[in-house]
Amino acid sequence: MAAAALGAALAAPVGAVLALGFHSHAEAAMPTAGTLPSLTSSTPQMVVPNFAALVKQYGPAVVNITTKETVKTSSRAPQGLPPGFGEGDDPLSQFFGFGQMPRWRGQGGVPGQLLRGEGSGFIVGSNGVILTNAHVVADAKEVTVKLVDRREFTAKVIGQDETSDVAVLKIDAKDLPTVKLGNPDNVAVGEWVVAIGAPFGFENSVTQGIVSAKGRTLPDGSYVPFLQTDVAINPGNSGGPLFNLNGEVIGINSQIYTRSGGYQGVSFAIPIDVAMNVSQQLQTSGHVARGRIGVTVQPLDGQLAQSFGLTKPEGALVAQVQKDSPGAEAGLKSGDVILSFNGTDIHESSELPAQVARLAPGTKAKLGIWRDGKAKEVVVQLADMGAQEVASADSAAAGKLGLSVRPLTKDEQKQIESEGGLLVQDVAGAAAEAGIQPGDVVLAANGKAVGSAADLKAITDHAAKHLALLVQRGEARLFVPVDLG
């Protein structure tokens, strides 16, 4: 799998913004070097726009973010590679793929040492509200925001959502310059875009490129329909804004595809409407709710399409419907092909999860499906993805242990030959200090098997200052001591 580097902190991804002011991408709101000529056979070349006015007006709303964190475990990974190349990993086995761009880190790696990371962000509220990538501030003990005028503020992390890689910060300041938000739906492939950030710590660096594609779904399960660009994004760019020529933020630079650990011409940004939806939920409720319908889908190829009587291989083929799920209640069956979701055509199966996840639980959605050679419509009421897939211990257990977990499915239990177990999906606090990682499976705590978050909470509540977790990581099992303080 290729190394997907996130370009915000020198060890984290890159960033995006939400759409509020809607200008057509065809409008030339920002001054350019001249009117772009018509693309005809008599036109030898296009004139590149002048981005100076855009940068002068909105550059002051782009900030440099510095973080401090304590190294918990040693890592043999080469500095600057994405997360996942740590202790116990084959440095080559995952080198080709997608991933968050590492935060820029000057030095570090020794357990107990204080690491300094750098990333980017942008101001969306004149009262000090800032958007960046979650991976920029993940595990940070201290976050500092530096403005273009060299003022520095200690920032509070209002909330962060690992799934979308969006974080919201707040600094104590007023009358700050802000960015203008645009509508990524109005952006056309081939349109010019501009990124401002701090690659390798070089503050307020400007790079430009074009939109390469829209609605990209990456193999990280993030449920984000990324904007793909060829804008140069490197470690330190993570969390910075992606502008259109109207000076509107249409995305947060977040990830790159790389075989070298650095920029190779393929960058990804979180659409600003997705980021702002996450931001609003984090500020109002402290967490992000996403819808789910409880089906497993797969792509359609030409042969499958013909076998189901479809004229072209488009849509999402339902491979499995989870028992008692919204999909099951709506009557969905294995072999159905979902052709549309709330009126939006589904061309690729990968488009469906992002469409579903952006709606709130409880929302009713119309599915256009193909069954037995006929088109029909069904209505499904979305459930909460978190309630089903992330069974998190309640605040007391989370505060004491710092784990977000979900029970293993029956298939997962068979794979590791266990009758229970909890999959770790997020780590903080005491568990992170002990070296527990996302993807680990907690089998037992203090000698007692765990099969639910409630089991783990009960054992944690009755523990004194120490907890011994039996953890499976890959094919190995080990006990991990956790100091509960």
Q: What is the pLDDT of residues 14-72, one digit of tens each?
A: 333 222 222 333 334 444 444 445 555 555 566 778 999 999 999 999 999 999 886 65
In-domain check, residue 62: yes
Average pLDDT of span 264-269? 93
pLDDT band (50, 70, 90) for residue 113: low
HSE (side-chain half, CA atoms, 13 Å) at 117:
36
Q: d(Cα 242, Cα 272) in Å, to the nearest integer? A: 9
11: DSSP letter = T
Tokens coding 323? 């028992």
Model confidence pLDDT, tens digit, residues 394-447:
333 444 788 888 888 877 888 888 888 898 887 877 888 888 988 899 998 877
Judge if 160 and 237 occupy the same domain.
Answer: yes
Q: What is the pLDDT of residue 27?
A: 39
Q: What CA–CA distance (Å, rounded) separates 153 from 329?
A: 51
- Residue among 431, 458, 442, 434 nearest 405 (CA): 442
How far is residue 360's CA from residue 99's CA, in Å, rounded to a whole number? Answer: 27
Which residue did the predictor score with more confidence, 193 or 93? 193
Domain termination residue (choose one: 243, 271, 288): 288
Closest by CA to 293, choosing from 250, 247, 342, 252, is 342
Domain boundary among 232, 258, 288: 288
Q: Which of 288, 316, 332 is the last residue of a domain?
A: 288
Alpha-carbon span 249 to 182, nearest angstrom: 5
Q: Retrieve residue 116's tokens.
A: 């300094």
* Residues recorded for the chain: 485
Q: Show the domain range for 304.
A: 291-384
Give the DSSP letter of residue 300.
-
My answer on whether 145 and 196 are in the same domain is yes
**pLDDT at residue 391 in the model:** 27
Domains: count for the chain: 3
Q: Catalytic residue at 347? A: no
Backbone angles phi, psi at 380, to 5 degrees: -125, 140
Cα distances (Å, whole numbers) of residue 147 to 203, 232, 395: 10, 22, 35
The reply to whether 345 falls in a domain is yes
Of 268-277, 383-392, 458-467, least confident by mean pLDDT is 383-392
Least confident window among 116-125, 259-268, 270-279: 259-268
Tokens of 200: 């390798």
Give domain status of residue 4, yes or no.
Answer: no
What tokens does 79 get? 């500095």
Nearest to 380 by CA among 363, 402, 397: 363
Shared domain for 137 and 62, answered yes or no, is yes
Is 37 within the bounds of a domain? Answer: no
Of the listed ranges 216-220, 225-229, 470-474, the one predicted with least confidence: 216-220
Provide the pLDDT for residue 416: 85
pLDDT category at 186 given cuts 50, 70, 90 is very high
Residue type, 238: S
Q: For residue 318, how many other CB atoms are within 10 A of its CB?
A: 24
pLDDT at res. 427: 81
The total of other beta-carbon atoms located within 10 Å of residue 371's CB is: 17
65 and 184 share one domain: yes
Question: What average pLDDT does the segment 375-386 reach?
Answer: 91
Residues annotated in a binding site for substrate: 135, 165, 236-238
- Catalytic option among 25, 75, 135, 440: 135
Domain of 422, CATH number, reads: 2.30.42.10
Residue 243 pLDDT exceeds 80: yes
CATH number, domain containing residue 270: 2.40.10.120
Q: State the residue for tokens 């600094």.
A: 171
Alpha-carbon distance 336 to 346, whole Å?
13
Q: State how far the Cα of 67 lies from the Cα of 134, in Å rounded to an integer.
A: 12
pLDDT for residue 5 is more than 90: no
- The answer to whether residue 469 sits within a structural domain is yes
- The verdict on residue 32 lying in a domain is no
Quick check: is 238 catalytic? yes
Pair 351, 305 in one domain? yes
135 is catalytic: yes
Give the integer Cα–Cα distance in Å for 59 and 56.
6
Which amino acid is located at 423 in the chain? Answer: L
Say if residue 151 is in the same domain as residue 249.
yes
CB 88 within 8 A of CB 75: no
pLDDT of residue 271: 96
Residues 58 and 126 occupy one common structural domain = yes
Q: How far apart are CA 25 and CA 128, in angstroms?
A: 29
Residue 13 lies in a domain: no
* 209 and 345 co-located in one domain: no
**Does one domain contain both 135 and 264?**
yes
Spatial contact of 189 and 213, defined as CB atoms under 8 Å apart? yes
* 146 and 248, same domain (yes or no): yes
Does residue 140 sit in the same domain as residue 281? yes
Same domain, 126 and 270: yes
How big is the CA angle at 480 (ends 476 and 483), to the nearest 5 degrees? 165
